[in-house]
Amino acid sequence: MNLAYGLDMQKSFDEFFALQKKMMRGMEVLMDVDDEGSDCTPKELVYEEDKMKLYHYKPLTKNTCKVPTLIVYALVNRQYMMDIQQDKSVIKNLLEQGLDLYIIDWGYPAPEDRYLTMEDYIEGYIHNTVDFICKANKVEKINIMGVCQGGTFSTIYSALHPDKIKNLVTMVAPIDFDTEEGLLFKWGKNLNIDSMVDAYGVIPGDVMNAGFVILKPFQLMLDKYITVLDNLDDSKQMSDFFRMEKWIFDSPGQAGETIRQFVNDLYKENKLVKGELMIGEKQVNLKNINMPLLNIYAEYDHLVPPSASKPLNDHIGSSDKEMVSFPVGHIGMYVSSKSQKEMAGKIAKWIMERSKKS
């Protein structure tokens, strides 16, 4: 071993040249890299209101669940993370297990959407969507599955309209904001969201993204791009990487009045679990949630730490409630092989069993 400054120079040079070769081969790979393939599971546009679109996925099994399930995604990223690519698609997995799925695409808010409130999203868009699905399927109740911020919205909706929801599934959903874990929760308490909303109206997606990447600056701004060099000559890996990269930075802006209330009432004052949250003129009482609940969280989530998701089970009125976790991070919940099959299988089985009950 030839050590210089404690470094094995021969091994280092071996790595260096291997990397150079990879980069050369990578140039050819990058010329043909394919970042398409997201949001490809067949679906149909069945309802739209303003910029919101509701899609119905084509069933992949003969006998689908009689109670349809509505997926409500967060406003901060696009919903196709659930269908990022065919071999890692949560949606496809759920359809193969027999669920009848609908998904909301919130679209991209434009300057005229700055005045949209949480009430507009929950009592307007979600409520109208639920009504539409009930009518289209001739059912009184549907299942709702809320992801991240969509999980918070779904929880609030279920508390306001328990008569419309058969089963509630929340995934990595922030509920109890009074936690010291997770920088978003720490910084959110001091952030003056009012000046941000007043300055921007609709807060641009790029501003939101800058806030997200600074949470792990070296990992997300440097490491990620250094590590990708190791896979530069692997076209499959590079396609996967670019698909994710495209999704991460495909960030819609945030309707000002909605994010104002979300930060002030939830991040700062934790009103949801205190029973003080007002949606329009209605007070949200989590005890009204009397339907079965499946609460799923990621054990290494740096955006929505477990301590923010887990307390939901303690605050609701249901007797049938379950909590499941996976040893992954926030994004890993949808794309990691660890959680993929296992999680979809668990959700589908749980929903199917409870959807049979009258």
Partner 1 sequence: MNNVMDQFFDMQKNMINVWQEAFLPKTDAKEQKSEKMSKEAPEDTMDFFTKMMDFNSKLFSPFNDGNAFEIFKKMSFGTDVYYNVYKLWEDLNKQAFKPEMKEYTEMYGKWKDEYMNFVKQSVIPYLPKPMQSFVKEPMEIMEMYKGFVEKFYGPWIESSEVLKDYMVQGTYKNPIAYLDFMKLWEDNYSKSFGKILNSPTMGFNKEYYEKQQESMDTFVKYMTLLGEFSANIFSVAQKTMEDILDNYMEMQKSGNQPKTFKEFYEYWSKENENAYLKLFNTEDFSKLFSELVDSSMVFKMRYDGLIEEYLKFMPIPTKSEMNSLYKTVYDLKKQVKDARKELKDLKEEIANLSDVIKASK
Taking the C-alpha atoms of residue 164 and residue 286, their distance in angstroms, rounded to an integer, is 15
Q: Does 114 bind partner 1 (CB under 8 A)?
A: yes
Q: How far apart are CA 20 and CA 25, in angstroms?
A: 9
Query: Is position 134 annotated as part of the catalytic site?
Result: no
Distances (CA, A) of 256 to 111, 158, 194, 201, 202: 9, 24, 9, 5, 5
Own/partner contacts of 181-185, CB < 8 Å, gap of 24 or more, are: 181/305, 181/306, 181/307, 181/308, 182/301, 182/302, 182/303, 182/304, 182/305, 182/307, 182/308, 183/215, 183/302, 184/211, 184/215, 184/267, 184/303, 185/267, 185/305, 185/308
Contact between 115 and partner 1 by CB under 8 A: the answer reads yes
Cβ distance to partner 1 smaller for residue 247 or 267: 267
**196 is a contact residue toward partner 1 (CB under 8 A):** yes
Among 45, 86, 187, 287, binds partner 1 (CB under 8 A): 187
The phi and psi torsions of 2 (rounded to 5 degrees) equal -95, 100
Residue closer to partner 1 by CB (options 63, 190) is 190
Residues of this chain, 153-172, that bind partner 1 according to CB under 8 A: none
> Closest CB to partner 1 among 61 and 219?
219
Instruction: Decide whether 90 or 116 has the Cβ nearer to partner 1.
Output: 116
Near partner 1 in 16-35, by CB under 8 A:
16-17, 20-21, 24, 27-28
Contact 86, 77 (CB under 8 A): no
Q: Take residue 102 and report the two structure tokens written for it.
A: 């609908």
Q: Which stretch binds partner 1 (CB under 8 A): 86-94, 147-155, 215-223, 341-349?
A: 215-223
Q: Give the residue, chosen from 34, 163, 198, 206, that forms a contact with partner 1 under the rule CB under 8 A.
A: 198
Q: Catalytic site residues?
A: 148
Binding residues for partner 1, per CB under 8 A? 2, 4-17, 20-21, 24, 27-28, 50, 111-112, 114-116, 120, 124, 183, 186-187, 189-192, 195-196, 198-201, 214-219, 222-223, 226
